[in-house]
Amino acid sequence: RKKMGLLLLLIICQCAVNSVKTHSVSKPNIILLMADDLGIGDLGCYGNKTLRTPNIDRLAEEGVTLTQHIAASPLCTPSRAAFLTGRYPIRSGMAAFSRVGVFLFSASSGGLPSEEITFSKLLKQRGYATALIGKWHLGMNCESSNDFCHHPLSHGFDYFYGLPVTNLRDCKPGQGSVFLKGVQRGLVIPIQITGIALVSLAIVQYIGLLKVPFEALSYFLLIITISLVVLIFFFYNFRHLNCFLMRDHQIIQQPLSYENLTQRLTKEAKQFIERNTDRPFLLVLSYLHVHTALYASEKFKGKSKHGLYGDAVEEMDGSVGQILDVLEKHNLSDKTLVYFTSDQGAHVEEISSAGEIHGGYNGIYKGGKSTNWEGGIRVPGLLHWPGVVQAGAYIDEPTSNMDVFPTIVKLADAQLPSDRIIDGHDLLPLLQGKATRSKHEFLFHYCNAYLNAVRWHPGNSESVWKVFFFTPNFSPEDSNGCYDSHVCFCHGGFITRHDPPLLFDLSRDPEEKVPLTPETESRFYEILRVVQQAVDNHTRSLHAVPNQLSWNNLLWKPWLQLCCSSLSQSCYCDYESGGS
């Protein structure tokens, strides 16, 4: 009888423990930390020995480290679209067919379509307080300067404090320009053609071969003059027109000031947490670090062993530490899933005008941002949730930043959309050790809207095959990037197509040094056949959607320009510092 009683007590206790465990996994707080252009080799927990990142490393020590965590795109805009929606960016129209694969201007009309369902929308419906602090880069307006159709508040966020576009060299005086070289190259030929055309018209008019109406010539000159004036005005005022800070729908600082910027972002994040200690919340803290223009506050400037880039990494790590501290202060650590990643790999071509390296380190991996070599898409993936996910665990299975969507949607007790394909998979079984294999048998790597490569992890093998249909032409040829053009492009003379495709086994050659051949891999053609079948199935799942990154949607439209004062005042205001 005593044994029966003891057994009953043990069963009751176990049920109680299971009940607590189930309760703790239901509707936790979610904090998603995203760096910009951070290399996987920049962090101590991924092997860096000289940069100090103790707070980010703590996430790894007390949580799970994903060692094959893949960004859905090697560029900011499409990668972030995939992150928010759990879908390849080609499905939402957020992948470009043109050379430019990201939004560059605040007054472009493209952006994340309102038809897309973000995890913030679904969590908001489940009673979560939701905030995006930092970089957005997914569009702003559609038809007028105040419709805010692509704004974070139109995609499920209750609160927004940050940059609508991105941090660029042009935003910080003295840091050079990402446009100057391209504009100079792009204008040389049109100006030459225009000049030759005008001289030719003058000659044929003079010798009487052709009579050109004076009015037609005047209109032609007027159009050319107006176009040049608008172009010069726009690039002269680029910083004021595109680099500004918003709170919700209001501009609070135009142009953006970098003074104590990371501290301001961190303060906003901490205040949001403290406002919502009694309800579940979703916080996306999207750092400007370490995209150029680089910056660091006085506390961190000159303190690292890797110049301004290292200072910026260490300042971001300090911010992560403050977020973890505020969770502990309010006893929220055990109730909060914290995720840290980067939107893509380090931008290896970033070198300042003074010759200082302003790009990060991708470890052993080839290439970087804008390429689908591992250095461009293999990113940090750290998940921290004491008592729920394994502590100090390493998972080498292929995972994607698209997996965050189904993972947190399920944790919030929300339903995944049934009217569309979700490409991500729930990570929790892997994180808790209940599964040992990733659900991603195939991952498709796009360069803009062009299918560039495919990763295949067969269920009965440790191999991770990667097939390239084309690769970027590095410049100089013996370098690790496209230094002549600042980024690599996806078509035409910028790439080399491969027939048969290049084949690597990442489990044996993670550096992608030696392509396999039929002589060195007996299953060469069988692997290509299986991958091609997967490509065909994937392609059939795609549907035509409006291209949000078409030239029409990318170009600056004056009527969409946000301005907190007036153009005559260079759109200047500073409510953040108390000025106006």
Q: Which residues are catalytic?
A: 76, 137
Q: What is d(CA 12, CA 351) in angstroms, rounded to the nearest whole number?
A: 63
Q: Cβ(77)–Cβ(94) under 8 Å?
A: yes
Beta-carbon contacts of 515 under 8 Å, excluding residues fewer than 6 positions away, are: 502, 503, 504
CB atoms within 10 A of CB 449: 19
Residue type, 515: P
Q: What is d(CA 99, CA 495) in angstroms, rounded to the nearest whole number?
A: 12
3-state secondary structure of 500: strand
Here the tokens at position 400 are 């994607």
Is-cis flag, bond preceding 476, omega within 30? yes
Burial 404-442 (b: 16+ CB within 10 A, else e): bbbbbbbbbebeebeebebbbbbbbebbeeebeebbbeb
Rg of the Cα trace of the chain? 26
Task: State the first-to-last Cα distance of the chain, in angstroms, to the nearest integer.
Answer: 80
Three-state SS annotation for 369-432: CCCCCHHHHEEEEEEECCCCCCCCEEECCCEEHHHHHHHHHHHCCCCCCCCCCCCCCCCHHHHC
Q: Cβ(62)–Cβ(390) under 8 Å?
A: no
For 534-578, the DSSP string reads HHHHHHHT------TTSHHHHS--GGG---SS-GGGTT-EETTTT
Here the tokens at position 128 are 């979560």
Strand residue runs (E) in 3-90? 29-35, 64-70
Q: What is d(CA 222, CA 61) in angstroms, rounded to the nearest whole number?
A: 65
Burial 172-202 (b: 16+ CB within 10 A, else e): beebbebbeeeeeeeeeeeeeebeeeeeeee
